[in-house]
Chain A
Amino acid sequence: MKQLDNEKLSLFLDNQLDSEQSLHLLKAINKDPALQTKLQRYSLISQAIKNDASQVASSNFVASIREEIRNEPTYLIPSRKAPANWKKTAWAAAASVLLGVSVVTFMTAREQAQPFGSIQTLAQTNKHYRTADNTRFNEYLQDHDNVWYVNNATGSQPYARVAGYSDR
């Protein structure tokens, strides 16, 4: 068992364990002084190989920090959902809105189309309305052809007279 733990410790130092294995090992180190010493010695060996100088944490390092932060306030920050979930939610919401808009547009178009029966009928009706509008508009232009509005007084001042008034 110890041999296995030590082997895992070696892998842990080289970042070869996955998160779950690392967490399990860290918890074991936290409870087992022998594993703490082994980690200390492996770290020392690793540093001494890489450099000419080596210095590792003392045996009571973790306990000292634990004692120091005992009186520190405890964090109670609400948990945040992972960014990936937010993205999924955003995409789902966008898709729902898009679908809703599509359905409403389709229904509206269908309701507008129904009173006229077909596209051909609709075109004829529009033509009829257009002709009637044009006639009324032409009549309006003819009625007001020589009239200029001055001070909201309508129908009495042709444009030429207004110009003449201005000269005076």
Chain B
Amino acid sequence: MSEPFNVSEDLDQGLVRRVQQGDKAAFDLLVIKYQHKIVHLVNRYVKDPSEAQDVAQDTFIKAYRALGDFRGESAFYTWLYRIAINTAKNYLLSRSRRHSEYEIDVQDAEQVENAPQLKDMDTPENMLMNEQIVEVIRSAIEKLPEEMRIAITLREFEGMSYEEIAEAMDCPIGTVRSRIFRAREAIDAKLDPLRLKRYCDETTRQRKTIAFSR
């Protein structure tokens, strides 16, 4: 479902313009805003957490280098999304070439959307960690009070806007905001902070130098 209004587009345009005028710090704000989305997106292709982090970082560096040519014909995130996909696919192609298992023209990367060789295999450790986190979160959702559970479910599962949720639940929009926030806080409290910290640190500690051209 579509968002009620797209407030981020103006913000992104403003930040891009500031970067183009020499304000490098404005790029930090774009990175903060989209870092988790891009890592998550890249992780769909590159399953190893540390490699996914590196490829996501490379995406942002490539985006910075190309920002001079960005004219805003598409939304900044759409543009960044394309760079991320291409970077991830090129990384997998590059890695596969190093392993000499098969040869694919790099220029074909964009066309080969569902090629099995362009999907990475998840590591057992990562799979286990993911399963644990998902399990804890699902269990926490089940234990939420009904109005909070419905609100967060409609938002996250169904992708409904706050206005649509307010209409569906027959309550003011302010109540929806509060319910979703309290649901997130309650789920967050159930997640073991140490486990999450370890999970996030793990991806950092395992960082390797990725050997494809920048």
- Within the complex, the shortest CB–CB distance from A83 to chain B, in Å, comes to 10
Which residues from chain A contact B88 at a C-beta distance below 8 Å?
none
The answer to whether B76 has its CB under 8 Å from any CB of chain A is no
Q: Which of A14, A19, A50, A77 gathers most chain B CB within 10 Å?
A: A14
> What residues of B have a CB within 8 angstroms of the CB of A64 in the complex?
57
Q: Report the interface size class on chain A.
A: 35 or more
**A-side contacts of B83, CB under 8 Å:** none
Known: A41-B188, A55-B43. A29 touches B32 (CB 8 A): yes
A10, A26, A45, A52 — most chain B CB neighbours (10 Å): A45
Interface footprint category on B:
35 or more
B28 touching A30, Cβ below 8 Å: yes
Q: Which of A36, A59, A61 gathers most chain B CB within 10 Å?
A: A61
Interface centre among A40, A42, A46 (most CB of B within 10 A): A46
Contacting B at CB under 8 A, from A4-53, are 6-7, 10-11, 14-19, 22-23, 26-27, 29-30, 36, 39-50, 52-53
Q: Is the interface of B mostly helix, strand, loop or mixed?
A: helix
Tell me whether A26 and B10 are in contact (CB under 8 A). no
In the complex, what residues of B have CB within 8 A of residue A40's CB? 36, 200
Query: Which residues B14-43 have CB closer than 8 A to chain A?
Result: 14-15, 17, 19-22, 24, 27-29, 31-33, 35-40, 43
- Chain A 74-94 interface 0/1 with B at a Cβ cutoff of 8 Å (1 = within): 111111000000000000000
B204 beta carbon closer than 8 Å to chain A: yes
* A50-B156 contact, Cβ under 8 Å, with A29-B32, A57-B53, A76-B21: yes
Q: How far is the CB of A39 from chain B (nearest CB, A)?
A: 7
- A46: which B residues are within 8 A, CB to CB? 156
Asked if B29 and A23 sit within 8 Å, CB to CB, the answer is: yes
Query: Would you give 19 A-B contacts (Cβ < 8 Å), ordered by A?
Result: A7-B181, A15-B3, A16-B4, A22-B11, A23-B11, A23-B29, A26-B29, A26-B33, A45-B191, A48-B133, A49-B152, A52-B131, A55-B43, A55-B130, A57-B39, A61-B39, A75-B67, A76-B21, A77-B21
Which B residues are closer than 8 A to A by beta carbons? Answer: 3-4, 6-8, 10-11, 14-15, 17, 19-22, 24, 27-29, 31-33, 35-40, 43, 49, 52-53, 56-57, 60-61, 64-65, 67-68, 122, 130-131, 133-134, 137-138, 141, 152, 155-157, 162, 177-178, 180-181, 184-185, 187-188, 191, 196, 200-201, 203-204
- Knowing that A48-B130, A48-B137 touch, tell me 4 more A-B residue pairs with CB under 8 angstroms: A22-B11, A44-B196, A49-B137, A54-B134
Which residues of A line the B interface, CB within 8 A? 6-7, 10-11, 14-19, 22-23, 26-27, 29-30, 36, 39-50, 52-62, 64-66, 68-70, 72, 74-79
Lowest 4 CB-CB distances: which A-B pairs, in order?
Answer: A43-B36, A57-B35, A55-B43, A10-B181
